[in-house]
Amino acid sequence: MKLLAHTLCLCLAFALSWAQDKHAHAVLDRCEGIEMDAVAVNEEGIPYFFKGDHLFKGFHGKAELSNESFAELDDHHHLGHVEDAFRMHYEDDPTHHDRMFFFLDHMVFSYYQHKLEDGYPKNISEVFPGIPDHLDAAVECPKPECDEDSVIFFKGDEIYHYTVKTKAVDEKEFKSMPNCTSAFRFMEHYYCFHGHRFSKFEPKTGEVHDKHQREARDYFMRCSKFSEESDHLERERCSRVHLDAITSDDAGNMYAFRGHHFIRKDEGSDELKADTIESAFKELHSEVDAVFSYQDHLYMIKDDQIFVYKVGEPHTHLEGYPKPVEEELGMKGPIDAAFACKDTVHIIKDQNMYDVDMKASPRVAGNQQPVSLFKKVDSAMCSPTGIKVIIGNHWYHFESPMVLAAARALPEQHRVSLELFGCDH
């Protein structure tokens, strides 16, 4: 009898645990408008969004347990979840340079290359004297964006500017900004999150650029469905989510693809248009890996398949497609990026670039060259002035594919949302 009761208890405990885990995973859908506890950028510039004991990496993808990336966070069960986080990138402070800091209750954890540093966790007051416990948000602020390399801490209505070098604490009052549930520095701009909405603010004064709070899912997440008040064009041109593909057709019209949507900019016009991929390319539905234009056709690659459309109003899907990428271009999909310069298509996959002569039959991907400058290329396109290579939220100009392959130093960095799409925030 005792054995039966023990077995029943174990089964009940397992069922409850399973139900709780299932519920937790069901709730943790960033596209449902959940409030993040903390946001920080890692060493590679990838944003990490923390919620409870889970972590979202990048702008899309499912949640994973935080302790899978930062194991020691789970060793202190008396502490709560990550309340705020930031990455300190101040070369004048070698002790803390390039560290990620996580705050839980009264403790702070310091990680270097995803490893907890010796002696941590420590009391917040020991590492950041004058800063209180149980913080709401924190964000790094390098000079000259702040007068000195600093960290801005938020707790209710109280704002603390902590100078890294002198450890001085200056209490500020940001009258125009609502209380932050998390804060984030991205592309040299500062964002205060209020639940799943955010405001952009000036770190020195707290001045809010736009009194209207914006929807975080429109700019920092890739979601297929949005609120009714969302402006598709505004969202797509100002989104911080990287582009999946970009190209320009023979007439010079530009197409940029991200998730379920694409932006079009016609040659000779400053007007942008945004629409769903399915509305113009219904056979694709959404999310492409790469797109290039050749002889008035758009070649659109998704996984290991290639779709071809004749450019027009509307675009015409060619009969017989999709076909395997290997059959059409001589190499297996998926691929990272593709761009056509005259009769040659250049394919980038796994830090290598291959050339495909579109006039050859059969077509073969050859002339393999390493592209060691970037770990991963998101998209690229060829234009009369050279190659635009897009990595995350930035693009880089190269005079030719040969220069791209030979490059060992980054050229000038340009912003996608600002310089390609004219977004000012």
pLDDT in tens, 278-333: 889 989 887 899 999 999 999 999 999 999 999 988 899 999 999 999 999 999 98
Contact partners, residue 60, CB within 8 Å, separation at least 6: 221, 222, 223, 241, 259
Q: What is the mean pLDDT of the chain?
A: 85
Q: How many CB atoms lie within 10 A of CB 129?
A: 12
Residue 148 above 60 pLDDT?
A: yes
Alpha carbons 330 and 324: distance in angstroms, whole number:
9
DSSP track, 206-253: --BS-SSPEEHHHHSS--S---TT--HHHHHHH--SPPSEEEE-TT--
pTM above 0.75, yes or no: no
pLDDT digits (tens, 9 = 90+) for 207-233: 887 767 788 887 888 776 555 566 667
Q: How many CB atoms lie within 10 A of CB 154?
A: 22
pLDDT confidence bin for 22, thresholds 50/70/90: very low
CB 422 within 8 A of CB 270: yes
357-to-68, 345, 354, 362 alpha-carbon distances in Å: 45, 7, 10, 9
What pLDDT, on a 0 to 100 scale, did the predictor assign at position 281? 93
What structural domains and CATH numbers belong to the chain? 27-219 (2.110.10.10), 232-420 (2.110.10.10)
Angle at 310 between CA 307 and CA 316, to 5 degrees: 80
Residue 109 above 60 pLDDT?
A: yes
Place of tokens 């492409």: 288
pLDDT digits (tens, 9 = 90+) for 397-409: 999 999 999 999 9
pLDDT confidence bin for 425, thresholds 50/70/90: low
Contact partners, residue 382, CB within 8 Å, separation at least 6: 339, 340, 341, 346
Dihedral of alpha carbons 385, 389, 394, 398, sign: negative
pLDDT digits (tens, 9 = 90+) for 236-292: 888 888 899 999 988 889 999 998 889 999 888 888 888 889 889 989 887 899 999
Structure tokens at 68: 């899978």
Per-residue burial over 284-313, b = 16 or more CB atoms within 10 Å of its CB, e = otherwise: bebbbbbbbbbeebbbbbbebbbbbbebee
What's the rounded mean pLDDT across residues 49-69? 87
What pLDDT, on a 0 to 100 scale, did the predictor assign at position 12? 42
Place of tokens 């070369």: 91
